Amino acid sequence: MKIYIDGQFYDECDAKISVFDHGLLYGDGVFEGIRIYNGKIFKLDEHVIRLYESAKGLNLEIGMTQEEMRKLLIEAVEINKKNDGYIRLIVTRGDGDLGLDPANCKKSKVIIIVADIKLYPEEYYLNGISIVTSSYRRIPNECFDLRIKSLNYLNNILAKIEARNNNCLECVMMNTEGYVAECTGDNIFIIKNGVMKTPATYYGALEGITREVALELGRKNGLNPQETALTRFDLYNADECFMTGTAAEIIPVIKIDNVVIGEGKPGLHTRKLIEDFKELTK
């Protein structure tokens, strides 16, 4: 594995960063998780745009153009000879001192790791996954805009621990007003009476790239997708439910808090969307 750090590729054992990097000290930085299918980077432009928008949200200068970043990502995949896999692209505030002031960090640091992808067990795609709702609320917009894909995932991690404690791999988080936001690392959708719905991002959801793909597929399939407000009631009473994410792709949800969703198995529309997504990534 060859890992890119700040202008150079290193062997895994030599890929090291300073303990004074503010990405480590304060979670000050942004990242992307990106898929490689058949040697091609999936939704490369979209991921690079989101990275730069996240960075802008944090007043973080990346130090290269989007075009240069795209070329660098392609180079990283080629050097690692990866046909199918996962890219973790990270930009940290860079090295500073122990104070939190980013003004003391002279230069941001770009890190690119090209790895194998870790998927949910195949069984979940066939039979669906059970999730729970988290008691932790998503951070409100007046505190932090969650469209910034930042290196600080502690809100999500606490919810992930809660999911694990409930013998689940994922859980859905509400915002402080009780509206559904998203899962710890995935967006969430329902289908009710033939209409596909997902929380609008201002309820506390990341603008997921896979979410965007699912919305597009929903339009093609006549599901009239809506970005709207959903509560726990809408989830429990959905005909179908699924999550989307770069790693998860599209994964059917069959139980939430032990409440059976629809018929308790992956629904017709969800299975069609999964098929369509497979076609896109062939």
Query: What is the contact surface with ligand PMP in residues (CB under 6 A)?
Result: 33, 156, 182, 185-187, 206, 208-211, 244-246
Question: 1 or 49, CB closer to ligand PMP?
Answer: 49
Q: Nearest approach, Cβ of 249 to ligand PMP (angstroms)?
A: 9
Q: Nearest approach, Cβ of 183 to ligand PMP (angstroms)?
A: 7
Cα-based torsion angle of the residue sequence 51, 56, 58, 62 in order, rounded to the nearest 10 degrees: 60
Question: 80 or 210, CB closer to ligand PMP?
Answer: 210
Q: Nearest approach, Cβ of 281 to ligand PMP (angstroms)?
A: 13
Q: Is 16 a catalytic residue?
A: no
The Cα–Cα gap between 107 and 180 comes to: 38
The Cα–Cα gap between 78 and 73 comes to: 9
Question: 44 or 79, CB closer to ligand PMP?
Answer: 44
Q: Nearest approach, Cβ of 220 to ligand PMP (angstroms)?
A: 18
Q: Nearest approach, Cβ of 154 to ligand PMP (angstroms)?
A: 12
What spatial distance separates the first Cα and last Cα of the chain, rounded to whole Å? 25
Both tokens of 199, joined, read 């929380």
State the catalytic residue, choosing from 43, 109, 149, 197. Answer: 149
Only one residue has tokens 């009710």, namely: 192
Q: Which strand (E) or helix (H) includes residue 157?
A: helix 154-165
> Under a CB-based contact definition with an 8 Å cutoff, are residues 209 and 198 in contact?
no
C-alpha distances out from residue 122 to 82, 125, 187, 249, 269, Å:
22, 5, 19, 12, 19
Question: 96 or 245, CB closer to ligand PMP?
Answer: 245
CB atoms within 10 A of CB 30: 27
Question: 212 or 234, CB closer to ligand PMP?
Answer: 212
Catalytic residues: 149
